[in-house]
Structure 1
Amino acid sequence: MTTPPNDLDLLLIAISAIPPPWKKWPGGYPDRLDLALVDAVMSIRFRYGRERRDGTWTGARGAVLRYQRHSEHVAPSERMRYLATQDPVALEKILNRQKVHAGKTKAFAIVEAAKNFRSAGITEPGHLKPDDDDHQQLYTDVKGLGPVTWEYLTMLLSHDGVKADSWITEFVGRATGRRVSFEGAGGLVKEAAQKLDVDETTLDHAIWSYASTTGLRNMPPFPDLA
């Protein structure tokens, strides 16, 4: 009697259908905790962005590049202090006025998280430990910031991981034929990365690029959405 495929088997089948070569993870900011924090928060429910003809960018990428220009005069040792002391209203004009929840913009959340990190002495990328629950709590204590973008923050600092956003979760859900939580999707992608002997970040980006580019039009929707 044939054993039916489990969730991991089904996910691996779906991954095998992603056309090679996989799009390469563009990397993050291994030397810039401030930029990684801005990117992680700006990425919430927001497109990555695209490059315009004039060289500027839209989306979250554009916001990060604008802040990078705004802070280019700051000495490396002062970058997190500078971010933590920004006026959130003024920062909104550089980034945008998108909100992390009703009443709080992403700019306010970024400044609050920067203050939390700075108060704990986390001012350099090497100070932040992905597996330290206290470090994670400094981030997730800010209303609107959660474990998904916490992991993305650590990925932007060159730690391996999976950002189980809506595209990743949708891909895993369609592959397995059932709805999965963000945590469940992330866990399955990590298992798949181990099985395929690739970095979690590499597989994460391959799935995300495929899903966001195709809209998953080639994957069957959930039965109740058909």
Structure 2
Amino acid sequence: MSTAHVRALLDHIDAELPRESWPHWTEGWPQEIEAALLDAAFSARATYGTPTTGVRAVITRWRDHRAAPLDDLTALAAHADEPEGLLAVLNNRQRVPGNYTTKAEAVATAARSLTELGCITSADLRDDDAQRSAIVAVPGFGAATWECFAMQLGVPTAASRAVVCDFIAEALALESPATETQADDLVAAAAVRLEVTGTTFTHAVWRYQRRQQRAAGAR
């Protein structure tokens, strides 16, 4: 990929997800597995909001309640049998897609399932079938929940890589998706130009592309 390709990618980003208005130019929630799980649940079919509203407000309330680093899923799992306490802390009664339960209850259930597999901190997260199933099996959660959860913690999956490759193909008007090698090279080059990390770049692009896919009816 040439310098012209990098320039075209940067121009596409300026047009579609400028840093001054797109809220996802962050690394997600590195080393904060509780925040990542809350984000994956509460961002589903909801407005992401500002630092004091929406998803980030939910995470802030939990952070204030915990008064500790948010990297221990046992704290959320403790509410699985009696989710009312978690609902009170988060002050949010949104329900999961399908209206099965509240998002708070789904988070607690998923946290317990993950801890039972030995996934307690962000260092324990793996893109494997067992951990993925622990998320996807929760009523109202799905593959997108898992992808979002893993992305927040900087754990790439085959699906998230494909989303980034699709974005690059669209940005460069390629006839087929970019290869992973091409995508990696372009992400690295564009991140340097934008003075952000590759993780930040990938997170912003993934969030944007997922929104576009949802708008087009993808699941």
The TM-score by the shorter chain falls in which range? 0.5 to 0.7
Q: SS at 2:13's partner residue?
A: coil
Identity level (%): 27
Q: TM-score, normalised by structure 1?
A: 0.64
Matched, 1:83 2:76: yes
Q: SS at 2:86's partner residue?
A: helix
1:136-187 C-alpha deviation (Å, 9 max, x unpaired) = 01111111111112111112112246997xxx9xx89x989xxxxxxxxxx8
The unaligned stretches of length 5 or more in structure 1 are 1-11, 52-56, 177-186, 216-220
User: Where does residue 145 of structure 1 map in the other structure?
Assistant: 141
- What is the CA–CA distance in structure 2 between the aligned matches of 1:116 and 1:35, rounded to whole Å? 17
1:93-120 C-alpha deviation (Å, 9 max, x unpaired) = 3241111122311011001001101111
User: Where does residue 105 of structure 2 map in the other structure?
Assistant: 108
Distance 1:150 1:211, change over 3 A: closer
Matched, 1:124 2:121: yes
- What is the CA–CA distance in structure 2 between the aligned matches of 1:188 and 1:200, rounded to whole Å? 18
CA contact (8 A) 1:112 1:142 kept: yes
- Provide the aligned C-alpha RMSD in A: 4.2
The unaligned stretches of length 5 or more in structure 2 are 1-6, 189-197
Distance 1:25 1:175, change over 3 A: closer
The aligned runs of 1:174-185 (5 Å cut-off) are none
- What is the CA–CA distance in structure 1 between the aligned matches of 2:109 and 2:206, rounded to whole Å? 32
Letter in 2 for 1:119: E
Q: Matched residue pairs, number?
A: 186
Distance 1:19 1:30, change over 3 A: closer
Deviation at 1:194, TM superposition (A): 3.6
Pick the structure with greater CA Rg: 1
